[in-house]
Amino acid sequence: MIYDVIIIGAGITGAMTARALSRYELKLAIVEAGSDVASGATRANSAIVHAGFDAANGTLKAKLNARGCAMMPEVCAALDVPYKNNTSLVIAFGDDEENKLEELRARGEANGVEGLRIIGKDELHALEPSLSDNATAALLAPSAGIVCPYELATAACENAVVNGADFITGFKVDNIIKEENLISVCSGDKTLTARFVVSAAGCAADEIAAAAHEESFPVKIIPRRGEYMLMDKKLGSLAKATLFMLPSAAGKGVLVSPTVDNNLIIGPNAHEVEKGDTSTTSAGLDEILAGAKRLIPSIDTRSVITSFAGVRATPSTDDFYIEESASVPGLLHAAGIESPGLASSPAVAEYVKDKLVSMGLDLTERKDYIPTRRAYGHMKKHFRDMTDDEKNEAIKNDPAYGRIICRCETVTEGDIVEAIHSPLGSSSLDMIKRRTRAGMGRCQGGFCSVRVVDIIARELGVDMSEVVKDSPASRLLYGKTK
Ligand SMILES: Cc1cc2nc3c(=O)[nH]c(=O)nc-3n(C[C@H](O)[C@H](O)[C@H](O)COP(=O)(O)OP(=O)(O)OC[C@H]3O[C@@H](n4cnc5c(N)ncnc54)[C@H](O)[C@@H]3O)c2cc1C
């Protein structure tokens, strides 16, 4: 079969692009090197829908951030993904920093961000009572919000698949061959062919250009790691808005924010690393703790439930690069999609679609397009989100909803079974974790992991020892001791 478009990479850029294209009569494939959606930066980031005041005026980043932020509430509603318009505050400590807030406001207004306002100490402390006494003013961005990035990418990809796209995991593109009007995309001995190819490979954007035998790719990707600590829900109310420090050349600095699931997240720092290095270090975690305590002094490490890191695909050009390859017509690069790539993603997808049209892709709207997607669970609701009456009805219909598997996050066997049989499927412990939150709570899977593995094995008809944590090599069980 010849695809109209193959998208390389199922991060938020690839997933949103697939969804945007699935509205049309196109044969689409999304190929992903990892074993699931969101195997790169989309899995581990701050999850902020930035308002758009940070990017330099006139950049593509600035344009797509403001537009993406405006689109996000509607996209999340259509995909049934939690989104909170919790606003953001850039905090100033003293006169010098207060002057810089003005610069940020002016930049934001030129980028088209609406409602930006500088607030004084009294209003600031009334809004955020846990904030350090040393905070003197802030830039308030009313349009900023928070989402769950991997849930959003999963939902977008799922929506594309329901609308006919093929989603192929374990397909690491290592060669791209241009032949006449077609492009062959290869992974080992497997080959897929398309008229157009979109590279949305995050940190591997330059590797895709090399695989396509491009002589000179104008963007150097600098992998820059950011580390985080995630705090227990009991600290979730310490910050209501997303609290930033003033940005610097190194990035937006350490932030403190609630998550959509009511935890508190602190981080990230920014250090150059090897591609794929998502390890955390004690020095890095100390660094972000010190930054977070400057904002909220009462944060303490007793409430940390996990730490993690993500790697930014920082472009040498300091802007998103969404351009057709100079030497491989039909290949479109979406490269250098660092922060605010999540916030911008609905607008990036539109921009990619328009570029493909300018490259010759014809679009005809599908009559049977399904624009919405609903979350898993009985009545398309997770058990924990149901009312008592709904819970009773769910248990009456299917007793699996009466068996709580993850006590920390109130995830039932019914929720897990539905995630296993969802359009993208869920065959590993981490897929279930990302789809249902089983294992995301205070005990981090200490109680539920074995039970989840047991349910996956039963539902998929495999031996428990075949169920992996995440990648095919991450085995959990090796056999029986007795
Ligand atoms: C620490 C940190 C904090 C951030 N905070 C924010 C934030 O708060 N708000 C915001 O808007 N943005 C934020 N970002 C940026 C945001 O996470 C990224 O812009 C976004 O996730 C990029 O998505 P992507 O799909 O382009 O890349 P990725 O998510 O990296 O996806 C690329 C995909 O391509 C796959 N792939 C790679 N090579 C190949 C290959 N050869 N063949 C097939 N598949 C391949 C990968 O496995 C991966 O799944 C942050 C990023 C980091 C790292």
Distances (CA, A) of 333 to 117, 178, 328, 480, 481: 36, 15, 11, 48, 51
Quick one: which atom of ligand 1 is closest to the CA of 310? 53
Strand partners, 212: none
Tokens of 60: 């593509």
Give start-end residues of each CATH 3.30.9.10 domain in the chain.
84-146+224-312
For ligand 1, atom 19, which residue shows the shortest CA distance? 341
pLDDT of residue 378: 63
Q: pLDDT category, 375, cuts 50, 70, 90?
A: confident
Q: Is the pLDDT of residue 41 over 80?
A: yes
Residue 124, pLDDT above cutoff 70: yes
How does residue 252 score in pLDDT terms, banded at 50, 70 and 90? confident
Report, as an integer, the average pLDDT of 312-329: 96
Q: CB atoms < 10 A from the CB of 190, how many?
A: 13
pLDDT at position 433? 96
Hey, whose CA ends up nearest to atom 9 of ligand 1?
48
**pLDDT above 70: residue 20:** yes
The residues of the chain that CATH labels 3.50.50.60 are 1-83+147-220+316-373
Task: Tell me the residue type at 370.
Answer: I
Whole-number pLDDT of residue 379: 65
**Confidence band for 270, pLDDT divided at 50, 70 and 90:** very high
Ligand 1 atom closest to Cα of residue 208: 41
Question: Of 50, 271, 333, 382, which one is the catalytic site residue?
Answer: 50
pLDDT for the residue numbered 482: 78
Mean pLDDT along residues 53-77: 97
Proportion of the chain above pLDDT 90, given as a percent:
91
User: For residue 57, which phi and psi values (nearest 5 degrees)?
Assistant: -55, 140
pTM: 0.97
Work out the pLDDT band at 479, boundaries 50, 70, 90. Answer: confident
Give, rounded to a whole angstrom, the gap between the first and last alpha carbons of the chain: 50
Q: What local confidence, expressed as pLDDT, does residue 425 receive? A: 93
pLDDT higher than threshold 90 for residue 205: yes
CB neighbours (10 Å) of residue 133? Answer: 8
| pLDDT tops 70 at residue 4 | yes
**CATH architecture of the domain with residue range 378-466:** Orthogonal Bundle (1.10)
- Kindly indicate the confidence band of residue 250, based on its pLDDT and cuts at 50, 70 and 90: low
pLDDT tier for residue 338 given thresholds of 50, 70 and 90:
very high
Tell me, using a 6 A CB cutoff, whether residue 312 lines ligand 1: yes
Contact 244, 91 (CB under 8 A): yes
pLDDT at 358: 98
Q: What is the 41 CA–ligand 1 centroid distance (Å)?
A: 3
Q: Are 62 and 106 in contact (CB under 8 A)?
A: no
Q: Which atom of ligand 1 is nearest to the CA of 174?
A: 41
Q: How confident is the model at residue 286 (pLDDT cuts 50, 70, 90)?
A: very high
- Ligand 1 atom closest to the CA of 14, numbered from 1: 25
The mean pLDDT of the chain is 95
Nearest CA to ligand 1 atom 37: 201
Which tokens is 137 given?
A: 């003013």
In this structure, what token pair is assigned to residue 347?
């607008």
Secondary structure of the chain in the HEC alphabet?
Answer: CEEEEEEECCCHHHHHHHHHHCCECCCEEEECCCCCCCCCHHHCCCCEECCCCCCCCCCHHHHHHHHHHHHHHHHHHHHCCCEECCCEEEEECCHHHHHHHHHHHHHHHHCCCCCCEEEEHHHHHHHCCCCCCCCCEEEEECCCEEECHHHHHHHHHHHHHHCCCEEECCCCCCEEEEECCEEEEEECCEEEEEEEEEECCHHHHHHHHHHCCCCCCCCCEEEEEEEEEEECHHHHHHCCCEEECCCECCECCCEEEECCCCCEEEECCCEECCCCCCCCCHHHHHHHHHHHHHHCCCCCHHHEEEEEEEEEEEECCCCCEEEECCCCCCEEEEECCCCCHHHHHHHHHHHHHHHHHHCCCCCCECCCCCCCCCCCCHHHCCHHHCCHHHHHHHHHHCHHHHCEEECCCCEEHHHHHHHHCCCCCCCCHHHHHHHHCCCCCCCCCCCCHHHHHHHHHHHHCCCHHHCECCCCCCECCCCCCC
Best residue among 285, 311, 342, 345 to mutate for probing ligand 1's pocket (most ligand atoms within 8 Å of CB) is: 342
pLDDT band at 253 (very low <50, low <70, confident <90, very high): confident
User: If you average pLDDT over residues 422-428, what whole number do you get?
Assistant: 94
| 421 catalytically annotated | no
User: Ligand 1 test: best mutation among 337, 344, 345, 351, most atoms within 8 Å of CB?
Assistant: 337
**Cβ(205) – ligand 1 distance below 6 Å:** no
pLDDT mean over 367-391: 87
- For residues 5 and 219, what is the distance between their CA atoms, to the nearest angstrom? 23
Distance CA 251, CA 305 (A): 26
pLDDT score of 427 more than 70: yes
Going by C-alpha positions, the residue among 140, 213, 138, 200 that lies closest to residue 174 is 213
Q: How far is the CA of 75 from the centre of ligand 1 (A)?
A: 19
The class of domain 84-146+224-312 in CATH terms is alpha beta
Using one digit for the tens of pLDDT, what is the confidence trace for 159-204?
A: 999 999 999 999 999 999 999 899 999 999 999 999 999 999 999 9
Q: Take residue 358 and report the two structure tokens written for it.
A: 């300018």
Cα 271 to Cα 465: distance, rounded to the nearest angstrom:
37
- For 448, which DSSP code? T
| 299 has a pLDDT exceeding 70 | yes
Kindly report, as residue ranges, where domains of CATH 1.10.10.1100 are found in the chain.
378-466
d(CA 309, CA 4): 36
- Is 3.20.20.210 the CATH classification of the domain at 1-83+147-220+316-373? no
Query: What span, in angstroms and rounded, lies between the C-alpha atoms of 206 and 225?
Result: 18
pLDDT band with cut points at 50, 70 and 90 for residue 296: very high
| Structural contact between residues 78 and 372, judged by C-beta atoms closer than 8 angstroms | yes
Q: Which tens digit of pLDDT belongs to each residue from 381-397?
A: 889 989 999 999 999 99
For residue range 258-269, list pLDDT tens digits in order: 999 999 999 999
What pLDDT score was predicted for residue 423? 92
